[in-house]
Amino acid sequence: MTAYFGFEPSESLKNDIQTLLANLAKKAPEPQYHLSSEISKVFTDEVIDNLLLNLVGVMQNHSDGSEGGGLLKFLGGFLKTVMHGALKVMLGKCDNAEVNKRADFLRMRLLQLPNDKTRLGFQLPQDVYNHFQHCFTEVDAGNGKQITEELIKTMLTFTDLSLVHFFDDFIGGLNLGMINRKMASVTRSGIHKESHSTIKKLIPSLTDAQLKDFSIYFKSMLVER
């Protein structure tokens, strides 16, 4: 069995990815960079929505005025602002051969696993998966506060993996000059810093009920095949 993290993309994003990959496979003569750039923007938004912003709505049922929702909204807004600005600079007109190189990122992140729905994600180290499952089992048993430190540590590790697979792998497929490479590095550092800071504040702030909401939501994006 192999462990994965993956979320279900919107139908429109899934269709656009499949269309782009099919066009590239059949070497369609029409320029594909417009579709590729649009996919990059929507992909980015859906990563942020599924990892952060959708959680706000999930946990609202058990909101007690804690700062958890505000932390998630701030980080999500920050990431979208930073990434939209970076994508606007880094994504430009290019030929289909270059688009095909960029599309390697989509090929890696598109998970079509046996007996599962289509997901966007990446293979998860087994120990990280196991730590998540242990934390979620304890949360379900009402022991969420006792395993706060383990959950924080696991989420920090997961965040670093997400940066590698969703940011580094994407940037690696772009033909960037020195200035844009520097901008990408600065962007990554900012995302890393804010994400780690938010996790360390968020997890301890959640009530037992909110931890259970978090557990149920996040567990749906973990799979073994």
122 is written with which tokens?
Answer: 């990446």
Measured CA to CA, the distance from residue 14 to residue 128 in angstroms comes to 27
pLDDT at res. 179? 92
What's the predicted TM-score (pTM) here?
0.92
The CA-atom distances, in angstroms, between 212 and each of 32, 116, 139 are: 43, 24, 6
Measured CA to CA, the distance from residue 111 to residue 39 in angstroms comes to 16
pLDDT in tens, 194-206: 999 999 999 998 8
pLDDT in tens, 88-111: 999 989 999 999 999 999 999 999
Confidence of residue 61 (pLDDT cuts 50, 70, 90): low
Nearest-10 Cα torsion for 122, 69, 46, 111: 20
Measured CA to CA, the distance from residue 92 to residue 113 in angstroms comes to 32
Domain boundaries, the chain: 8-224
Percentage of residues in the chain having pLDDT higher than 70: 96
pLDDT at res. 62? 60
116 DSSP assignment:
S
pLDDT at res. 57? 79
pLDDT at res. 154? 97
pLDDT at res. 58? 77
Contact by Cβ (8 Å): 40, 170: yes
Contact by Cβ (8 Å): 112, 179: no
pLDDT in tens, 148-193: 999 999 999 999 999 999 999 999 999 999 999 999 999 999 999 9
In this model, does residue 81 exceed pLDDT 80?
A: yes
pLDDT at res. 66? 59
